Amino acid sequence: MNRRSPSTHRRRALAGLTLALGVAAKALAGTMVTPALVPPPPALAGVKSYVLMDFRTGAILASKDPQLQLPPASLTKLMTAYLSYGALADGRLRWHQRIPVSDVAWHTGGSSMFIQPNLPVTVDQLMHGLIIDSGNDAAVALAQAVAGSRSAFVADMNAEAARLGLKGAHYTDVDGLPDPGLHLSAMNIAQLSRDLIARYPQVLQISRIHYYRYNHITQRSWNPALFGHPHVDGLKTGHTHAAGHCMDTTIDRHGRRLIAVVMGAPSWPAGVHDVMRLFDYAYRFTHDHELLKAGQIVGNYRDDALDPDHFPVKAAQAVWVSTFVGQAQHIQRVLHYDQLGGRPVTVGMPVGSMRFELNGRVLARTALLAAAPAQPAGTLGTLWNRIRAEL
């Protein structure tokens, strides 16, 4: 009878343990969360900077040097339009109001809608000339009508940029003619465009128009992406030697809107090609998800010092996020409840917050509101609530 040495038994035991650990490791690996791979965005040759943004969520889906400050050319007129729409909204301007044309506006160089001092022009016509014809003369006439002078309007532009949080943006004119002090980033333009469309969606009724006629002159829109791409409906373009070909383009396919800003493309065809590649990339690899509806019950707040000692809480707003394909199931929800200290609770009162995270990055937040009232329980009520909780 052959006898194995103790070392042989130890080696076999060690091998068995190693095998068992390997099997366990494989089983554990099958349950681990592996983030979905993010496909790289298309390479845009010759472009200085770009931003691809989801309109609904504001998520940046792809970018290159998004904060780089560059000459914006006629993308400057987006802020001119924004402030003009604001003046229309608060009654300082009216759509059919006739605007006097100054010699300064008449003689403004560059692209023009061909207004003249003795030819009637309305605010409605100037807005069309500003957005479709990219009229520098229209920009000056609107600035004078809103603020009294170009310099006062420029001050308003910079104040509004600061209010909107357009980091690093600086305006020196209302039309985008070359100036060393005039600069915007692709991120500035995307953020402004999103706010412009959200606040004044009627801008798209103008920016989608292919041709506009004024003063017996018909001009083609300066946005070449409108032609041959039926889902594109805006927004603005610009070109100077220093800026190159700049495009701020928005598209709506099947109810999902995107914004692409490309700065410094080598040509209009190249710019159109680039923005459409960005849009195709986003629609193929990303999705919007509604995680919560406004008013949806998401949990219960509990406090022994209240009567009742618990009440439902609801989301203050709908929560949408943009993710790449395969990532949505990995989003984590993190709740935080405020310490109310037994204070009276009314329906709609803020009582906490919820954030949504993916791989440690916060995608969205919402406040949590009380969905039912509660009153202080008092000393005896608090004691009773604690006793009940322990039973």
DSSP per-residue codes, 115-152: --TTS--BHHHHHHHHHTS--HHHHHHHHHHHHSSHHH
| Catalytic residue status for 267 | no
Encoded amino acid at 240, one letter: T
**Cα dihedral value 81, 86, 92, 93, nearest 10:** 40
Contacts of 15 (CB under 8 A, 6+ apart): none
Residue 300 phi, psi dihedral angles, 5° rounding: -130, 135
**β-pairing, 319-324 with 286-292?**
antiparallel
- Active-site position among 49, 111, 112, 134: 134
The dihedral of CA 86, 90, 91, 92: what is its sign? negative
Structure tokens at 198: 């959200």
| Catalytic residue status for 134 | yes
User: In whole angstroms, what is the distance from residue 88 CA to residue 308 CA?
Assistant: 50
- Cis peptide upstream of residue 308 (ω within 30 degrees of 0): yes
User: In whole angstroms, what is the distance from residue 369 CA to residue 301 CA?
Assistant: 10
Q: What angle do CA 211, 212, 217 make, to 5 degrees?
A: 110
Residue 173 phi, psi dihedral angles, 5° rounding: -150, 175
User: In whole angstroms, what is the distance from residue 78 CA to residue 237 CA?
Assistant: 10
Encoded amino acid at 286, one letter: T
- Active-site position among 77, 112, 185, 314: 77
- Active-site position among 63, 74, 102, 111: 74
| Catalytic residue status for 74 | yes
Provide the 10 A C-beta neighbour count for residue 54. Answer: 21
Provide the 10 A C-beta neighbour count for residue 277. Answer: 16
Residues designated catalytic: 74, 77, 134
